[in-house]
A and B are shown apart, each in its own frame.
Chain A
Amino acid sequence: MMSSVPASDKKMKLLVYSIEECPVCGQKTKRAFQVGDYITKDGGKCTKCRNTTRVSLVYAESSKPSG
């Protein structure tokens, strides 16, 4: 008989990032997600052209599993 309870999936640590994109020059900055972030929310000033950036994506990446 097979075992019913699956070996719990290796818990991979997920790091969540917000991507701020400048609507004028298209420059993208990746920073850690902060509570309250949402897509289309105004971000900081663009480092290139000083326009207000917008959060364009929020996603999770798995950190390199350390052992």
Chain B
Amino acid sequence: MEDGLFSITSVQLQVPADVNTILYVVFFMGLIVFQFAFGTRIQVYFALNDIGRGLTKLKIMKDKSRKEAIDYLVNVGKSPNDPTQRVDQFLDYVTIMPVGIDPQGLVNKIDHVVTTNNERVRSEVTALVGQGQNNPVTVSISENLLEVATSLNIIHKVVRHYYLLGKKTNSYFTLIQLQMLMPMIIQESDALLNAVDSFKVGQPVGDGIGPVVVSKLMVGKEKRVIAKDTVIATTEYKGRTLHVLKADGPMAYVGQPGVAIKKVIEEMGVKPSAIIMIDAALKLEGEKTGEIAEGVGAAIGGIGVEKFQIEDVATKNKVPLYAILVKQSILEAITVMRKEIAEASEKVTQVLQRVIEEKTKEGDEVVVAGIGNTLGVAQ
């Protein structure tokens, strides 16, 4: 065997090396050396190109959302003077989150900062819109449009930062990571920009499915404000008293369901045997839009303050938390409600009734909360 191998190599070595073969070998050696020396540079070049193109897209989106917000303030809000300068100031406004190295009481601090910011936004936007001031829907839509413009502004700025940083330092890994994230960033920005179209005309968005379901229980009942932008009504189902709450529609509000639920239990003295929350949930790729999922726990997104408040009060009072979720993509959640989502509302109502029947007894009290942006959904 060894002998055979040896003889083959020696045969090969005896082949006269003509010029072509030498050139061939040299060419491939050169290619390998070139690949080693310049491979990453070529990839950096392509990455820069790719990110540059994405960045241009982001800039167009950012400018468009800004223009839409200004146009809305002028045309619908009847802003008395040109709001451009104020809008630009608004877009660069920063919210500084509290320090996290001493976590004791952190949620309250975050809540405080966020509340301050929300109040600031409301009062600034109210000042920006002119005659539209008297219409809370116009003010709330302006708020949302400015929020979209702010988000796109920040996204563009951060991506541009890493792009320029990567370019300046010729950092291969910075650029490759950014290039990998770009499709997701563009997709989310695109969703944000698409949201503008539904917000402008006050159409309910996919995220509003919770409020849609809950509004059916509240219609015709006496409503009262229980927390900022949040209303509650009391109704009955098969011998159970339902305390039903949602953000105050048809404004583009999300309200303060955390504060509201806390007040129901601690101030109104309600002893609920269940808190049922209905919310939109992000679907995974491949899942169907409008699919319903049930679960336990506080079904609410956001920065975490409301979630904390609800979990806290539920734990202290040993009230079980149930969740009913309607699956949708991020795009579907912030743009006009799709038929599949809207039509899930009837099924959600059935699930809600079943959960109430299964988990509570006659004479019990139940808190039902519709979580989400309630634009275009009154009660």
* The one of A5, A9, A37 that contacts B54, using a Cβ cutoff of 8 Å: A5
Q: What per-residue 1/0 map shows which CB atoms of B48-59 lie under 8 Å from chain A?
A: 001101100100
- How distant is the Cα of A33 from the Cα of B341 in the complex, in angstroms? 17
Determine if B43 is an interface residue (Cβ-Cβ < 8 Å).
yes
**CB atoms of B341 and A59 under 8 A apart:** yes
**CB atoms of A38 and B179 under 8 A apart:** no
**CB atoms of A39 and B250 under 8 A apart:** yes
Determine if A66 is an interface residue (Cβ-Cβ < 8 Å).
no
- How distant is the Cα of A56 from the Cα of B249 in the complex, in angstroms? 14
Enumerate chain A residues within 8 angstroms of B51, measured Cβ to Cβ. 4
Q: What per-residue 1/0 map shows which CB atoms of A36-67 lie under 8 Å from chain B?
A: 11111100000000000010111111000000
- How distant is the Cα of A36 from the Cα of B204 in the complex, in angstroms? 11
From A4, A8, A16, name the one whose CB has the most chain B CB atoms within 10 angstroms. Answer: A4
Q: A39-B204, A57-B212, A59-B342 are in contact. Are A16 and B50 (CB under 8 A)?
A: no
Determine if B77 is an interface residue (Cβ-Cβ < 8 Å).
no
Q: A39-B377, A41-B378 are in contact. Are A59 and B179 (CB under 8 A)?
A: no
* The one of B179, B204, B337, B343 that contacts A4, using a Cβ cutoff of 8 Å: B179
- How distant is the Cα of A58 from the Cα of B187 in the complex, in angstroms? 25
Enumerate chain A residues within 8 angstroms of B132, measured Cβ to Cβ. none
Enumerate chain A residues within 8 angstroms of B146, measured Cβ to Cβ. none
**CB atoms of B249 and A4 under 8 A apart:** no
Determine if B338 is an interface residue (Cβ-Cβ < 8 Å).
yes
Q: What per-residue 1/0 map shows which CB atoms of B177-209 lie under 8 Å from chain A?
A: 001101100110010000000000111100000
Closest chain B CB from A9 CB (angstroms): 7
Determine if B255 is an interface residue (Cβ-Cβ < 8 Å).
no
Q: A5-B57, A59-B339 are in contact. Are A33 and B203 (CB under 8 A)?
A: yes
Determine if B376 is an interface residue (Cβ-Cβ < 8 Å).
yes
- How distant is the Cα of A37 from the Cα of B204 in the complex, in angstroms? 10
**CB atoms of A57 and B345 under 8 A apart:** yes
From A41, A54, A59, name the one whose CB has the most chain B CB atoms within 10 angstroms. Answer: A59
- How distant is the Cα of A38 from the Cα of B190 in the complex, in angstroms? 25
**CB atoms of A59 and B337 under 8 A apart:** yes
Determine if B129 is an interface residue (Cβ-Cβ < 8 Å).
no
- How distant is the Cα of A40 from the Cα of B140 in the complex, in angstroms? 19
* The one of A4, A36, A41, A57 that contacts B53, using a Cβ cutoff of 8 Å: A4
- How distant is the Cα of A41 from the Cα of B379 in the complex, in angstroms? 9
Enumerate chain A residues within 8 angstroms of B379, measured Cβ to Cβ. 40
Enumerate chain B residues within 8 angstroms of A59, measured Cβ to Cβ. 204, 336-339, 341-343
**CB atoms of A5 and B53 under 8 A apart:** yes
Closest chain A CB from B163 CB (angstroms): 11
* The one of A1, A5, A35, A58 that contacts B204, using a Cβ cutoff of 8 Å: A58
Determine if B47 is an interface residue (Cβ-Cβ < 8 Å).
yes
* The one of A3, A4, A16, A38 that contacts B378, using a Cβ cutoff of 8 Å: A38
**CB atoms of B342 and A40 under 8 A apart:** no
Enumerate chain A residues within 8 angstroms of B203, measured Cβ to Cβ. 16, 33, 58, 60
**CB atoms of B341 and A6 under 8 A apart:** no
**CB atoms of B50 and A4 under 8 A apart:** yes
Q: What per-residue 1/0 map shows which CB atoms of B298-337 lie under 8 Å from chain A?
A: 0000000000000000000000000000000000000111
From A1, A58, A61, name the one whose CB has the most chain B CB atoms within 10 angstroms. Answer: A58
Q: Which 8 residue pairs spanning A and B have beta carbons closest together?
A: A38-B250, A59-B342, A4-B50, A4-B182, A40-B378, A60-B336, A39-B377, A38-B376
**Which residues of A pack against B, CB within 8 Å?**
1, 3-6, 8-9, 14, 16, 33, 35-41, 54, 56-61
**Which residues of B pack against A, CB within 8 Å?**
43, 46-47, 50-51, 53-54, 57, 179-180, 182-183, 186-187, 190, 201-204, 212, 215-216, 219, 249-250, 335-339, 341-343, 345, 376-379
